[in-house]
Structure 1
């Protein structure tokens, strides 16, 4: 057989192999906005999802509540095109009730405890009891907490439970947008509290411990599909992946308590 006939016959096979090597022909770009509490877990899982699905995650960050421009409710209110949101469960439920999210798509991912931190290398106060926590607040020069779920609790309830609301006026500050750990690391506060999962990735701080059980608040983090998402089916697939028991260990490693039980081996 002439050589040019062999080349002509093999050409379709070469094209097919090239297409297979290029990956899925219709990979989706999924736009995701996650609040800080689940951000590190999401970052750790993103590469595996992209590898196994062929989809591409366009990831952004914003608080679950508050009035900053990057806050998830504000983004949806001004019509930003987002496929999936990951945020505090109570705030997600409000968006669901308001018709911003697709009913029935909510998945609970994890629960998050609040922890406190100081600048790296300084003495750590003992906050294992409410008396110790009260002392740590009162002795701090400046205290920082977030403008999201943990900060709302600290400002609205914890200070009153500790009976220090008046004493903390003027030296306790709610921090919009910036992680509390960064404020502490830069020396702008010498004590602060936020979701443990948000403190753990920050360099330059030491986590003192969790709030004592009697004043602890566990915050649910959930995800859902946004109404009018451009990639609804790919978004649903991502939600199934994030909620899979196979990912429980990766979520737990970031300081969260996974909602799904680990997969059996």
Structure 2
């Protein structure tokens, strides 16, 4: 929730976070424009040469450009999906998945009863790789079984089977491949944004490039800070952290403010999630 909407109401937090996709887009375009013949940089490994004046700034710049080039595909995915989340908040959300009629008076099944209901759902769609089971509340819609099947790039909820816990009757079965184009685009946003579509392997790749892209913000500020120190001919350089903070410019204050707001709202969000 901190990542998605800074613990704020979704209608407020998602546009704030999603608008950062525009910042990434501008950074991506200007980076390619200012890096002349950037395609040559894909094979230009950063090298540290001892004794050269300004080597720290030069090496940091080379590293920044090298990582940035190899992260273009990842940045493009994050930008597109981030903008899509904003579109959804402002009315572009796809039609919801169908739901069965409400089931009343159904107790939560446990043990063999639950196993039988899951087996019933599996029989309806043998290709379903079950990943989650939800129970009906006081007024629920049956036991919900979700997972992955034949459709690619969809959330688990796209493949849903609802079973009546009273008699095991299948109330409704929906499949990802039956969705329309708008729904499929909406469903693809999360798997592409978080890299969950390929299991552990794609999660690890997304994690690695997430670290690299985060590192770009650090090296970018370092480069600007070193250039500022050089331009000002600092005879007594400021402390590195102070110079880094100054390098952020006016944007540092609202950014810090949003982080502090998110931290302040976290206890309330935890209590709400716990049902109290």
TM-score band, normalised by shorter chain: under 0.3
**TM-score (ref. length: structure 1):** 0.24
Compare the two structures and name the one with the higher helix fraction. Answer: 2
Higher normalized contact order (CA 8 Å, seq sep 6+, divided by chain length): 1
**TM-score (ref. length: structure 2):** 0.24
* Higher-Rg member (1/2): 2
